[in-house]
Amino acid sequence: MLARKQAVVTVEQNQLNDDIIVAFVISNFSKEEIYDAIRKQLPDYMIPSKMIYLEEIPLTVNGKVDYNQLHDIFIEDLSNGTYIPAKNEFEEKIVSVIAEVLKLEKFGINWNYIEKGGNSINAIRAVSKINELGLKCSVRDLLLSRDIGDFIRIITTRQDTIPQENHNYQELLGKLRTEYGSGIETAAPITPTQRYMYKAYKEHKIGDNFLQYVYRINGRYSYDLLYRTISLLPLQYDSLSSRIIEFEGDVIQIISTDNKIPVKEIKVLSDEEMKEYMRRDVLRSFDVKNENLIRFTVFIFPDDTVKLLCSVSHMIVDGWSMDLLINTIDRNYQLMLSGTSIDELTDMITVIPHPSITSYNWLVCQKTNQESMDYWNAYFADSEAAVMTITHDNAEKSSFYWEIVSYINEDDCIYIRQVCHRLGITENTLFEYAFAYLQRQEDI
């Protein structure tokens, strides 16, 4: 990214006289782009704590780097840091801890922790004090954040984070636990999209808009291991243990450990039995306010074929997100079959929410759809686990090979597939739009 003559790295002393690595660079790349490239090549302790942009590298009369001038540039930059104060009580609590640990009178949310005297030792004290406030963060979060504002944004994505001002979150949580049980971990407003769906559910009496997927289970089948595998999903995707409730005049979503994902096993004896079960239960929509919003059914057919049906409310998972969920189930189920214990598997799980799998956070849920998506995309930009692999070609494949419209006459099938191909959408999406239009939801 940078040629040797475009960058010089030195060791300078910050305001607490601790040595820090400083990079002086000539580049059109942003700091974020340079740091992203550096982190892929170097361990954390070798990453520059500060980066200063220059028009040119100062040289001595002999044509060598003038380190004295670089030192003067660093001192000037250190003393000219613009101070941006905390904007609310939540931010003030965090910057007060940082200032106290670094023995500074104040600390700007635009300031870098290490540049102002932070190191891995005092970061432990700072993070410990912040955790005592009921906030979840790590030393790594603090040391690798571009500034304290970035650090605060990381904290707000953790569960049980104190919400925006004007919301007494802890008091609300206490009331919810009293009424709905101590298993409630967190709560949040429903998002704008969820609010739209909930309104349709209430006003049109059409039931919940839900998705269904069927997968064949090849190889060894164990209901016990599959059930354990599915029971671990909420540890990674908090929306899967959620409920939508009406509370004190508003509609909110709660995450509760008491919400277990149901997994039912059905042994199919005849076609008539299968049709009856599908009519009675499989095609049943979700009672949004009174049941878990995802359920699984295992069908064992007379020829020993095993298929897994996943039914999930559109209020918590969109169609593309099923790729993530099924990959997670498949990977963890195979590990369980190979002898990995549930405790070992739990220790291996990394909690990485994805923008399209609703991650419940009071701050983010109050944003508009686009703001929320931009927020999560930015936060998880470096996480491979959070990058969807669905492509336009996959969308076409799912339309043309899932045979969703195979029970309509052939001419209509051809026409619908042509429309999907032209628009680059799946047949499932097309039917959802048509259904919404027929329900007079024209704004969709």
232 shares a domain with 108: no
Q: Are residues 359 and 264 in the same domain?
A: yes
Cα 352 from Cα 142, distance rounded (Å): 18
The per-residue DSSP string of 268-336 comes to ---HHHHHHHIIIIIT----TTTS-SEEEEEEE-TT--EEEEEEEETTTB-GGGHHHHHHHHHHHHHHH
Q: Are residues 29 and 139 in the same domain?
A: no
In a domain, 84, yes or no: no
Axis crossing angle, helix 410-423 with helix 427-438, rounded to the nearest 10: 100
Query: And the tokens for 267?
Result: 């042994």
The residues that bridge with 242 in the sheet, in sequence order, are 255
pLDDT tens digits in sequence order for the chain, 444 residues long: 555 558 899 988 776 666 778 888 888 887 778 877 887 777 766 778 788 888 888 888 888 888 888 888 887 776 656 778 888 888 898 999 999 988 888 888 888 887 787 877 788 788 878 877 777 777 778 877 878 888 888 887 654 444 443 346 667 778 888 888 888 877 777 776 777 778 777 776 555 577 777 888 888 999 999 999 998 888 777 778 788 888 887 888 888 877 789 999 988 777 787 777 777 777 777 877 778 888 999 989 888 888 888 888 877 776 556 777 787 888 889 888 998 887 777 766 654 443 334 444 554 555 555 565 565 555 555 444 444 333 333 333 333 333 344 445 667 777 777 777 777 666 666 776 676 666 554 443
Same domain, 177 and 147: no
Q: Residue type for 339, please?
A: G
State the Cα–Cα distance between residues 263 and 333, nearest whole angstrom: 14
Q: What is the pLDDT of residue 346?
A: 72
- Whether 93 is covered by a domain: the verdict is yes
Q: Quick one: pLDDT at residue 399? A: 34
Q: Quick check: is 214 in a domain?
A: yes
Of 148, 154, 145, 151, nearest in space to 39 by CA: 145
Residues 273 and 309 in one domain: yes
Give the global pTM.
0.48
Domain contains 161 = no
Contact partners, residue 42, CB within 8 Å, separation at least 6: none
